[in-house]
Amino acid sequence: MLSVGRKYLVICLLGLFAACTSRTETVVVRPVEIDSFLLNPGRGFTSTGSLFNENMGTRQHPLCGVSQQRYYWEQLEPREGEIDFSVIDSAIAKAVRSGQQLNFRVMCQNEDMVLPKWVIAAGVKSPYYDNPVFIEKHINLIKALGAHYDGNPDVCFVDIGSIGQWGEWHIDPEAPDPSKIVFPNDENAKKIIDAYFQSFKKTPLAALISFKQPFGFAYATSRGAGWRADCWGDMDSLGWNHMKGVYPQAIEGANAHDSWKNGPIALETCWTMDEWHKRGWDIDYILSKALEWHATSVNNGGQDIPAEWYDKVKAFEKKLGYRFVLREFSYPSVVKKETGAKLHMLWENVGVAPLYNGHPLVIRLISAIDSTSSYFIPTDADVKKWLPGNTEVNTIIPVPAELTAGKYKLEIGIVAHDMTKPAIQLAIAGKTPEGWYQMGQIEIED
């Protein structure tokens, strides 16, 4: 039997233990989802050419997350081995200023071949695409572009272009001299495609749908490319058109139904949405097919969208690509340095595609007594794997040794590669002026 004194000591110790444990409780935050337009890089609408968000003006058109640029080989390599990277770099700078990422394509042809003079002098001639000198020199260009731009955080994806009119992997059979420019055989087409994959191991690639020459499309998507279609919306006849004939058949033939899980799906309008409206085409069907194909971006040439359609197009835009909602975030109210903080998150991607470029998910701690003192702690979450639907994240973040004991504001963000600046807007309330999202307060103990 315990003495009165010992009983008192045990009760005191138990009370002390209860007091200590009660300080650490799980804080559960359920952010409020918002329905606002979010300008995010690499998704949504696409501007093209000299048009960027910064000079969009008063057009009846959403701001764009992508800038699409196309370059002829002769623009990029006016002299052999001397790549003019400033052509692409200047477009990247404009895109970044406008909150956009760049997508680019290399072209060798419009109706006729458009090649650097030095390439012709080196012996490239008709039928061009099967010419061994053409293949060698063009692969050298692809390698140089990959060495310079692969993994560039401001480039969202690169088209596997190079072949056909405007790099679209088709050649007009009704050209004045159809024997002059001939589509490459499968072996040589494969060499060009392989060069892109060997040169761009980090930056996503997109293949052009080619219904008349299906090998390249099927091969590129089988290797992990996404795809793009440059006549989206075409409903020109009850018989032959892109929307109900060409594209479904090409996707089926290449077994490319799940390509969106590996690389982006990008669509470019045939004419513009205004022309669709004039022709009486079914806008609901066209938009629904884009979402069914898991499109990340669509290009309307930056032209005004018909007023009658604008509300439904804006609603459609919110579903393109990725759109992240943090449904629940839980963390301990008190953490000891040596144990770290155990976090639980429930995310939902309410878009139709993942984020193809990796961005770290980071926790930011700000001292409650010194707002200039911030600490950035990366998590091990792989945001690129967040497909449409729910994703649960359970992780433990270490507490930086340099943190002093005390209370800290806890914020979360999907950041740029410098780890300190949010790059992705979330579809939740609570965003700070710096782009972080407030979760609450946490106390750090020694």
How does residue 320 score in pLDDT terms, banded at 50, 70 and 90?
very high
In a domain, 399, yes or no: yes
Looking at every residue in the chain, the average pLDDT score rounds to 92
Q: What is the CATH number of the domain that holds 107?
A: 3.20.20.80
In a domain, 1, yes or no: no
Task: Single out the residue of 193, 201, 226, 269 nearest to residue 42, CA to CA.
Answer: 226
In a domain, 13, yes or no: no
In a domain, 308, yes or no: yes
How does residue 239 score in pLDDT terms, banded at 50, 70 and 90?
low
Task: Single out the residue of 423, 436, 317 nearest to residue 101, CA to CA.
Answer: 423
pLDDT of amino acid 193: 98
Residues 242 and 330 in one domain: no
Task: Single out the residue of 388, 389, 378, 369 nearest to residue 412, CA to CA.
Answer: 378
Is it the case that residue 442 has pLDDT exceeding 70?
yes
Is it the case that residue 5 has pLDDT exceeding 80?
no
pLDDT of amino acid 23: 63
User: Are 309 and 419 a contacting pair, CB within 8 Å?
Assistant: no
User: Are 416 and 153 a contacting pair, CB within 8 Å?
Assistant: yes
Q: What are phi and psi of 325, to 5 degrees?
A: -120, 125
Q: 340 Cβ partners below 8 Å, 6+ apart?
A: 396, 397, 398, 399
How does residue 24 score in pLDDT terms, banded at 50, 70 and 90?
confident
pLDDT of amino acid 304: 96
In a domain, 246, yes or no: yes
In total, how many domains does the chain have? 2
**Tens digits of per-residue pLDDT, 126-173?**
999 999 999 999 999 999 999 999 999 999 999 999 999 999 998 877
Residues 172 and 255 in one domain: yes
More confident of the two residues 317 and 58 = 317
Half-sphere exposure of 420 (CA within 13 A, CB side): 5
User: Are 314 and 62 a contacting pair, CB within 8 Å?
Assistant: yes
Residues 360 and 426 in one domain: yes
Q: Which of 16-25, 128-137, 254-263, 424-433 shows the lowest mean pLDDT across its residues?
A: 16-25
How does residue 337 score in pLDDT terms, banded at 50, 70 and 90?
confident
User: Of the residues 317, 338, 361, which one is the last residue of a structural domain?
Assistant: 317
In a domain, 18, yes or no: no
Is it the case that residue 1 has pLDDT exceeding 90?
no
Residues 177 and 56 in one domain: yes
User: Of the residues 317, 342, 357, which one is the last residue of a structural domain?
Assistant: 317
pLDDT of amino acid 15: 34
Residues 278 and 368 in one domain: no
pLDDT of amino acid 9: 33
User: Of the residues 317, 337, 368, which one is the last residue of a structural domain?
Assistant: 317
Q: Which of 88-102, 175-189, 286-300, 316-330 shows the lowest mean pLDDT across its residues?
A: 175-189
In a domain, 2, yes or no: no
CB atoms within 10 A of CB 353: 26
Residues 311 and 289 in one domain: yes
Residues 221 and 111 in one domain: yes
**Tens digits of per-residue pLDDT, 171-201?**
877 666 767 899 999 999 999 999 999 999 9
Residues 310 and 407 in one domain: no
Residues 196 and 337 in one domain: no
Q: How many residues would you count in the chain?
A: 446
**Tens digits of per-residue pLDDT, 44-96?**
999 999 999 999 889 999 999 999 999 999 999 999 999 999 999 999 999 99
Q: Which of 11-15, 49-53, 197-201, 347-351 shows the lowest mean pLDDT across its residues?
A: 11-15
Is it the case that residue 11 has pLDDT exceeding 80?
no
CA–CA distance, 72 with 112 (Å, rounded to integer): 12
pLDDT of amino acid 12: 34
Q: What is the CATH number of the domain that holds 399?
A: 2.60.40.770
More confident of the two residues 157 and 339 = 157
As to burial, measured by CB atoms within 10 angstroms (0-12 exposed, 13-18 middle, 19+ buried), residue 132 is exposed
Distance from the first to the final alpha carbon of the chain? 38
Is it the case that residue 14 has pLDDT exceeding 90?
no
**Domain, as residue range, for 351:** 24-35+323-445
Residues 54 and 182 in one domain: yes
pLDDT of amino acid 178: 66
Residues 416 and 278 in one domain: no
Q: 238 Cβ partners below 8 Å, 6+ apart?
A: none
In a domain, 10, yes or no: no
Cis peptide leading into 127, omega within 30 of 0?
A: yes
Residues 190 and 252 in one domain: yes
